[in-house]
Amino acid sequence: MARERRARARGGLRGRAGLRGLAALCGLAAAAAAGAGAPPPTAGLVAEAEGLAEWLVGVRRELHQHPELKYEEVQTARLIRRELDRLGIPYEVVAGTGTVAKLGRGEGPTVGLRADIDALPIHELTDVPFRSKVDGKMHACGHDAHTTMLLGAAALLKEREASLRGTVKLVFQPAEEGGAGALKMIEHGVLEGMDRMFGFHIWPKLPSGKIGGRAGTLMASASFFEVEIRGVGAHAAMPHQGIDPLLAGAAVTTALQALVARETSPLDSAVVSVTKFQSGSTYNVIPESAELAGTLRTLTMESMTRLRRRFEEVVRGVGTAHGCSAEVKWSTHMALPTVNHPDAFKFTKDVAGRLFGAENYEEIEPTLAAEDFSYYTAEIPSTFTFLGTGNRTLETDIGVHNPYFKLDETVLPKGAAYHTALAMSHPGLWDGPAEGAASAAEL
């Protein structure tokens, strides 16, 4: 079966080359070979990408063993640039550890394909032979896979560069995990002249190889908070001589849950999670202060603005009611909701259906997880989708951000083909042979 697929892939390459040669012989421009508006040839793309599987797995495992945190992706960037050099693809260094490679003739529209490249401060607990070599750091969100799949697309697109009338920008973006790397890339002009941007995330909760998506909001806006509650320390046996910040902190934690449960429509998803509560250091002293931290998430910016205001009122009000002072500090960057543009989304769904079969596309519910790809969707018509990696037998159905997270590596060629098909199929970008033309030329 695999041999058959590889043979088909080789056939596809021969077909394309044959058609190009024929066009040149007849003195025809490559554009003449393309049926106006006909889709580009993507039928053999997955099989062709599977021919790259060994290289892709090698690249991914090299990345996986050397995870680097936001804005520290020096070795990662070096690997990306090494592979681009090998493929003969020019690139620019953006925002230090970011890389933007360019392909195509620059005579038509510009499409961006994005991969994030950073890892997480998690200590890997899997038993894979290529597990992280850095204690406390792990590619637990699959960004090593994203980087690899975009390099795979680079190889596939390079093969087809003569037919890329427009421009494809490959955006290797740093610092997705809480560093707003996307915003940094935008500030450095990555969206200038860009018509559309596409990105996707591997998703262990979706069966391996399936594409999941939805029009409109896919992922949440996220704010991160720190709360400091100050009281007055005292002997634990004489609480009336102090003001207990721990009791106030507990009351604040409970009261915050009412923001979602009692003040937000059940049809408008939101979440407040207090994930850190630190106070005191021994058993017979009422401490001076208590510190809380956590995240507030919503699917719309209206809800985020309202809930942030109410959050501050509740924290201060409950703190005051307990005789404490309470301060809220928000993180500098707030992720926006990731909103898929309706036209760009329809296009993505069609391309996914054509490439993998309509039965492998799944309409999914939004998630309260957040993505800094949202900065791109806020600027230009873009789409973000999920690529399933869940396989119970391979134990790859454990969620991201988990020390036991594992990747089903068979998706790597699929992701490379998906990126490639999205770029090639963008209206006006391709002027090579149309779908079916290559095999017709062979006959």
Kindly report the length of the chain.
Answer: 443
**Least distance to Zn ion from the beta carbon of 282, Å?**
37
Query: Are the C-beta atoms of 135 and 414 separated by less than 8 Å?
Result: no
Query: Are the C-beta atoms of 441 and 176 separated by less than 8 Å?
Result: no
Find tokens 């998703």 and name the residue.
Answer: 203
Q: How far is CA 298 from CA 248, 272, 295, 310, in A?
A: 26, 9, 10, 14
> Which of residues 418 and 430 has its CB atom nearest to Zn ion in the complex?
418
Amino acid at 144: D
> Which of residues 311 and 386 has its CB atom nearest to Zn ion in the complex?
386
> Which of residues 222 and 315 has its CB atom nearest to Zn ion in the complex?
222
> Which of residues 141 and 335 has its CB atom nearest to Zn ion in the complex?
141
Q: Near Zn ion by CB under 5 A, which window of 10-18, 136-144, 154-162, 219-227? A: 136-144
Per DSSP, the three-state class of 258 is helix
Which residues on adjacent β-strands are paired with residue 172?
99, 115
Q: Near Zn ion by CB under 5 A, which window of 44-52, 138-146, 388-396, 416-424? A: 138-146
**Least distance to Zn ion from the beta carbon of 131, Å?**
18
Looking only at residues 96 through 115 of this chain, which bind Zn ion when binding is defined by CB under 5 A?
none
CB atoms within 10 A of CB 277: 16
> Which of residues 95 and 141 has its CB atom nearest to Zn ion in the complex?
141
> Which of residues 141 and 387 has its CB atom nearest to Zn ion in the complex?
141
Nearest to Zn ion by Cβ — which residue?
141
Using CB under 5 A, pick the residue from 49, 141, 304, 407 that binds Zn ion: 141
Taking the C-alpha atoms of residue 374 and residue 340, their distance in angstroms, rounded to an integer, is: 9
**Least distance to Zn ion from the beta carbon of 141, Å?**
3
Strands in 313-404 per DSSP E: 325-330, 338-340, 361-363, 367-370, 382-390
Amino acid at 271: V
Taking the C-alpha atoms of residue 321 and residue 239, their distance in angstroms, rounded to an integer, is: 16
CB atoms within 10 A of CB 397: 18
- If binding is defined by CB under 5 A, does position 197 make contact with Zn ion? no
> Which of residues 203 and 311 has its CB atom nearest to Zn ion in the complex?
203
- With 0-12 / 13-18 / 19 or more C-beta atoms within 10 angstroms meaning exposed / middle / buried, residue 3 is exposed
Q: Near Zn ion by CB under 5 A, which window of 84-92, 97-105, 133-141, 338-346? A: 133-141
**Least distance to Zn ion from the beta carbon of 145, Å?**
10
Looking only at residues 1 through 20 of this chain, which bind Zn ion when binding is defined by CB under 5 A?
none
**Least distance to Zn ion from the beta carbon of 401, Å?**
6
Give residues in contact with Zn ion (CB under 5 A): 141
